Amino acid sequence: MLIPRRSAERGYADHGWLKSFHSFSFADYFDPAHMGWGNLRVINEDRIAPGTGFGTHPHCDMEIVSVVLEGELAHRDSMGNGTAIPPGSVQRMTAGTGVRHSEHNHAPGSVTHFLQIWLLPAERGLTPGYEQRAFDPADQRGRLQRVAAPVGEAGAAEVPLHADARLWIGRFDGATEAARLALDPARKAYLFVARGALQVSGLRLAAGDALAVQDEAELLLGDGRQAEVLVFDLAP
């Protein structure tokens, strides 16, 4: 079963300094039909205005993943991490027993565009932690590159997750760039189009669109138009 979720159907919040689209219920946006998918709880598409950002705030018992699309995200947290997250990088923060952090756009003239993703952890009360990996977009050209996987399964170049989930990122442009991803029909999957447009198993999707997947053995991706796409394998 393939269940499309179009970009215009998402929740939206405009805070002036932050413009955010919510794929699932978040903050003041509540839709009981969209509370998450499997153990995927949040995908927020955020745009932070120059010189602004999220002040220091707390989290617990959540795997928080950031994927920067444009600009740069400055991260600081109560574990002592202070990093810059550029496009092509994937960051994971394990909130565990409790962590405080801030995220800012310090650039004077450009917007930071990124995806904020929350995954339910495999267990509660974990020790807080932080990981960040850089990925070459060329390695995602015309294919899906796995960038995150569960601890113990993730390769040295991948982001380890304390969650029963995997994440691929791919880029597709033109008729010759295509990929096939095998799925376990007993699990769930979720696909999100970050940029551009492409065909997914017979459905045309554009930027901001998503596809909830269950009881399927594969996904076919192709016929892209400057597309960048994220695909999650998720606990049922």
With beta carbons less than 8 A apart as the criterion, state whether 61 and 95 touch: yes
At 213-235, the pLDDT tens digits run 999 999 999 999 999 999 999 99
With beta carbons less than 8 A apart as the criterion, state whether 67 and 90 touch: yes
**pLDDT for res 166:** 98
**pLDDT for res 80:** 85
Calculate what percentage of the chain has a pLDDT beyond 70: 100
Task: Extract the tokens encoding 236.
Answer: 């049922």
- Structurally, the chain folds into a number of domains equal to 1
- DSSP code for 187: S
**pLDDT for res 32:** 94
With a cut of 90, say whether residue 43 has pLDDT above it: yes
Per-residue confidence band for 207, with pLDDT thresholds at 50, 70 and 90:
very high
Closest C-alpha to 126, from 64, 75, 188: 64
Q: HSE (CB half, 13 Å, CA atoms) of 145? A: 22
* CATH number, domain with residue 40: 2.60.120.10
**pLDDT for res 107:** 85
**pLDDT for res 53:** 87
Per-residue confidence band for 109, with pLDDT thresholds at 50, 70 and 90:
confident
The whole-chain average pLDDT of the chain stands at: 95
**pLDDT for res 77:** 85
Q: Provide the domain limits for residue 205.
A: 2-234
Angle at 73 between CA 58 and CA 157, to 5 degrees: 95
**pLDDT for res 10:** 97
Lowest mean pLDDT of 78-92, 139-153, 212-226, name the range. Answer: 78-92
55: left (phi over 0), alpha (psi -120 to 50) or beta: beta
Q: Which residues contact residue 41 at a Cβ distance below 8 angstroms, ignoring those fewer than 6 apart? A: 24, 35, 62, 118, 119, 120
Kind of pairing between the strands at 159-161 and 144-150: parallel
At 17-35, the pLDDT tens digits run 999 999 999 999 999 999 9
